[in-house]
Structure 1
Amino acid sequence: MSLISKLKKQVFVQVQRMVPQQQLSRVIGKVAASEHPVVKNLAIQAFKAKYQIDLSIAEQTDALKYQSFNAFFTRALKDGIREIDSDAGSVVSPADGAISQLGTIRQGEIFQAKGQSFSAEKLIGDLQLAEPFQNGEFATVYLSPRDYHRVHMPFAGTLTETLYIPGELFSVNQTTAENIPGLFARNERMVCLFDTEIGRMAVVLVGAMIVAGIETVVTGKVRPTGRVELNHHDLKLDKGAELGRFYLGSTAIVLFEQDKIRWDEQFKANSVVVMGERLGRTV
């Protein structure tokens, strides 16, 4: 890596430390929620051009017919565009994106990037709730700005708890993951915990810089309160069912207990995946 590239990465990380993350996200959130035709159309057209958004796979293919930028960003896909792997024992990708990392949780530590890791306890935010995952398996899926931004069930289960954890809002791209210690356990996140036929499962929706919100099927759009909020549920969700969505995208982390699943060998860091694609199977 050249000296210039290293300096650019250092500047990128330092700028994130300096900017008022929460205030910036709130401002962006108001713009993204605006239904004013000029505001929302300018935002949608600029975003569509910059990230080369493919609307041919979307349920609504006309960019200007979306009610707001948020509606455009969380757009539904056409029926049949994403097939959910039908193998009863398969574990599927919860989202379109790229594998950031996946593998085994070693003595409670989840690998983030070279030289960086974070504990399952800090990610989950509760020692008792994190205990089943101490030596389990994890997959971290990064959703880029151009991706489909709904998060789906990687495996069938019953949602038993949601735990909202306030935090910072660093970007979650590879550069930041390599330079911010414990990134995913520091950012704002919504932890969703499940009982499944193979044991406990967690799906963690991690917020990021200028993410204007996280939404789940049981909580609706989360309103940051600055405090931890634990809620209990009893909701059965099939594999592939929608669990939540990001307003301006981020990362989904899936956790399983020890010796319950095995990831397919072809997947590694930076592997591109689509929602419903098989990532592994039960042991």
Structure 2
Amino acid sequence: MKPRRWRERLLLQEDLNFLLTNRVPRLLLTRWMGWYSQIRSPWLTRLSIAVWRLFTELDLSDAKQSSFTSLHDCFVRELLPGARTFDADPAVLASPCDAIVGACGAVAGTQVFQAKGFPYALTELFGGSELAETYRDGCYVTLRLQSSMYHRFHAPHDCHVEHVSYISGDTWNVNPIALRRVERLFCRNERAVIRCRLSPDGPPIALVPVAAILVASIRLHFLNVLLHLKYRGPNQIPCAADFSKGQEMGWFQHGSTIIVFAPRGFRLCEGIVPGQPLRAGQRLMLRP
């Protein structure tokens, strides 16, 4: 096939993907998915999982359960003991989740990228300039959870959670096609900014789970509320929760993205490049 025709076909496929996953009533579809996923019916769940597998490489071989009574149970499935091992090196910040690495590298002042040519400001993502200054010239990694992946996320290091900022928003798809077309996408979508400090009295880090279309909720185990599109506050939530490295912190009800930020002096581990698949617990960043 001639290069020009190949590029035209690729653009047509991208246009169709963007149309089907974004030019729809996103908020309504997301709320509907939240309702549908909670229906407890073994036969409907088996049928839904079979359809799901037509579009994704869903692997349930390491799941603790062998059958599910609802799609929600499958989305937030636990794994067999030992299925994920966290790097024990205290100098290592581990990946909090299974993911595909997206944009990553050095923070340029207080600006980072969601995709090549699509920058966004930390001030807008975090909802304030004070926290953005904490990560000036720091380090970041975008971790994209595909819908078929394990959806729980864990502490990347021994840490103390100090504060959560919940920012309601849209539910754009966060796949690479949308990231190349929608400016400041992460700043538009629903998200939670989790402020942590490495124990004891160590440097700060921030985890930013970003929701997307069909993601009906973000569950954080240290909060007694479920963060979702109908949540009405409070939006600034002081916390005091301690986690050991690898301890579960919460989950998405579907796939989405977690962006990890560390201050100046941290650097990416070898092999952390866009497109690299990771499992929770693998090496992500190195402390100074």
TM over 0.5, shorter chain: yes
| Higher deviation after alignment, 191-200 or 268-277 | 191-200
User: Superposition pairs for residues 152-171 of structure 1, below 5 Å?
Assistant: 152-171=154-173
The number of residues matched between the two structures is: 279
Q: Which residue of 1 aligns with 2:218?
A: 214
5+ residue gaps, structure 1, are none
Output one character per residue of 1:165-185: Cα deviation in whole Å (capped at 9) or x when no partner. 111111111111111111111
- The one-character-per-residue Cα deviations of 1:144-174 (angstroms, maximum 9, x if unpaired) are 1121111111122111111111111111111
Q: Mark the CA change 1:27 to 1:225 in structure 2 (over 3 Å): closer, same or farther.
A: closer
SS of the equivalent of 1:202 reads strand
Distance 2:204 2:191 in 1: 19
For 1:130, the equivalent position in structure 2 comes to 132
Kept after mapping to 1: 8 A contact 2:22/2:173: no
Q: Per-residue deviation at 1:222? A: 1.5
**What is the rounded CA distance, in whole Å, between the counterparts of 2:106 and 2:114 in structure 1?**
12
1:227 Cα deviation after fit: 5.4
Q: How large is the Cα RMSD of the aligned pairs? A: 1.8
Taking the aligned partners of 1:82 and 1:35, their CA distance within structure 2 comes to 28
The answer on 1:31 being equivalent to 2:36 is: yes
1:31–1:39 CA contact under 8 A, matched in 2: no
> Which of 124-133 and 232-241 deviates more?
124-133
Paired amino acid for 1:77: L
* Aligned mates of 1:46, 1:14 — CA distance in 2: 20
Within the alignment, does 1:281 sit opposite 2:286 as a pair? yes
- What corresponds to 1:250 in structure 2? 256
Question: 2:59 matched to 1:57?
Answer: no
Letter in 2 for 1:19: V
CA distance in 2, matches of 1:205, 1:5: 30
Check whether the contact 2:216–2:228 (CA below 8 A) recurs between aligned residues.
Answer: no
CA contact (8 A) 2:148 2:255 kept: no
* 8 Å CA contact retained: 2:145, 2:151: yes
Q: Is the 8 A contact 2:165 2:192 kept in 1?
A: yes
Report how far residue 16 of structure 1 moved: 4.8
Q: Distance in 2 between matches of 1:163 and 1:143?
A: 21
Query: In the superposition, relative to structure 1, how do residues 76 and 210 fare at CA in structure 2: closer, same or farther (>3 Å)?
Result: same
Amino acid corresponding to residue 85 of structure 2 in structure 1: E
3-state secondary structure, aligned to 1:55: coil
1:112-143: CA deviation from partner (whole Å, max 9, x where unpaired): 11111111111111222322012211011011
2:70 match: 68
> C-alpha separation between the residues in 2 aligned to 1:226 and 1:57?
33
- Determine the structure 2 residue equivalent to 1:272: 277
TM-score, normalization by structure 1: 0.92
Q: Percent identity?
A: 28
Gaps of 5+ in 2: 1-5
Alignment match, 2:87: 85
The two structures have a TM-score, normalised by structure 2, of 0.91
* Residue identity matched to 1:266: G
Equivalences for residues 182-261 of structure 1 within 5 A: 182-196=184-198, 197-219=201-223, 220-225=225-230, 229-259=235-265, 261=266
Residue by residue over 1:187-235, the C-alpha shift from the partner in whole angstroms, topping out at 9 and shown as x without a partner, is: 1111111122432111011011111211111234313247561100111
Kindly indicate whether the alpha-carbon contact (under 8 Å) linking 1:165 and 1:227 is maintained by their aligned counterparts in 2: no
Please give the alpha-carbon distance, in whole angstroms, between the structure 1 residues aligned to 2:38 and 2:133: 38
Counterpart-to-counterpart distance in 2, 1:77 and 1:137: 30
Equivalent positions of 1:89-168 (< 5 A) are: 89-168=91-170
Superposition map of 1:8-23 within 5 A: 8-14=13-19, 16-23=21-28
